[in-house]
């Protein structure tokens, strides 16, 4: 979808896409301005035959440096929760609604900034192309940005987490909290509870896969 003042990634999608071709083309994406400040495009990772696709917001500082999604603290939290929920990592494809790190500088630190709806819309062709290749049985949005972008503005993570909703993007689609919100919990007890609830949501996904 084109949005006023922004180009989109649509022109960068290669003909006859495959995951490797998409990854290669995404590396040169100039579909919005976010490439300017980022180290590199962080494309999704996982096998084409993955049954579940997890979609986060955008790469963080670590992901931007390493060029892989969910390899920083939030990614480690996700990995741990997947193991606990009994979801095999090899059945999982992980990606983000926006493929470049958006940040602002605070001193020497790069502070995450939420992508806006134009940036999300500009990047959407990549996600649609990934969905077209992987065709996951279950789509899981991590956090409000992904949930709103993919499940619609009415989806409320706080109220509907773990609930499957109708979507043309996958046979089963749901959303839950972003693993980084667990890391931001105010104290140990809140963190413990948030992590437990996250694992419970992933267990719902696991049972849908059986």
Which one, 8 or 58, has the nearer CB to ligand URA? Answer: 58
Question: Taking CB under 6 A as the criterion, which residues in 61-100 touch ligand URA?
Answer: 63, 69-70, 72, 74-75, 96
Among 60, 125, 162, 175, binds ligand URA (CB under 6 A): 60
Mapped onto helix, strand or coil, the DSSP state of residue 97 is coil
Q: Are strands 138-142 and 172-176 parallel, antiparallel or unpaired?
A: parallel
Cα separation, 98 vs 109, in Å, equals 21
| 115 within 8 A of 58, measured Cβ to Cβ | yes
* Beta carbon of residue 186, minimum distance to ligand URA (angstroms, whole number): 20
Taking CB atoms, the residue at the shortest distance from ligand URA is: 56
* Beta carbon of residue 201, minimum distance to ligand URA (angstroms, whole number): 16
Among 13, 19, 38, 57, binds ligand URA (CB under 6 A): 57
Name the helix (H) or strand (E) containing 81.
Answer: helix 73-85
Among 31, 44, 46, 59, binds ligand URA (CB under 6 A): 59
Cα separation, 199 vs 181, in Å, equals 13
Query: Where do we find the tokens 């979609």?
Result: 55
* Span near ligand URA by CB under 6 A; candidates 6-14, 15-23, 51-59, 79-87: 51-59
Of 11, 12, 31, residue with least CA distance to 122: 31
Cα separation, 137 vs 150, in Å, equals 15
| 195 within 8 A of 77, measured Cβ to Cβ | yes
* Beta carbon of residue 15, minimum distance to ligand URA (angstroms, whole number): 28
Cα separation, 64 vs 163, in Å, equals 31
Which one, 7 or 37, has the nearer CB to ligand URA? Answer: 37
44 binds ligand URA (CB under 6 A): no
Q: Residues interacting with ligand URA, by CB under 6 A?
A: 56-60, 63, 69-70, 72, 74-75, 96, 180
């Amino acid at each position: 979808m084109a949005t006023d003042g922004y180009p989109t990634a649509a022109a960068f999608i290669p003909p006859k896409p495959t995951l490797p071709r998409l990854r290669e083309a995404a590396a040169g994406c100039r579909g919005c301005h976010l490439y300017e400040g980022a180290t590199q495009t962080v494309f999704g990772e996982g096998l084409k035959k993955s049954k579940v696709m997890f979609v986060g917001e955008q790469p963080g500082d670590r992901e931007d440096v390493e060029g892989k999604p969910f390899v920083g603290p939030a990614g480690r939290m996700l990995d741990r929760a997947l193991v606990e929920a009994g979801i095999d990592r090899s059945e999982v494809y992980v990606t983000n609604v926006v493929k470049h790190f958006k940040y602002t500088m605070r001193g020497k630190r790069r502070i995450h900034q939420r992508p806006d709806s134009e940036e999300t819309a500009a990047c959407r062709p990549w996600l649609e192309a990934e969905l077209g290749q992987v065709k996951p049985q279950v789509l899981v949005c991590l956090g409000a940005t992904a949930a709103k972008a993919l499940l619609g503005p009415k989806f409320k993570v706080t109220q509907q987490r773990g609930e499957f909703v109708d979507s043309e993007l996958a046979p089963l689609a749901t959303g839950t909290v972003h693993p980084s919100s667990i890391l931001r919990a105010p104290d140990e007890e809140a963190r413990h509870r948030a992590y437990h609830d996250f694992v419970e949501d992933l267990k719902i996904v696991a049972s849908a896969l059986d």
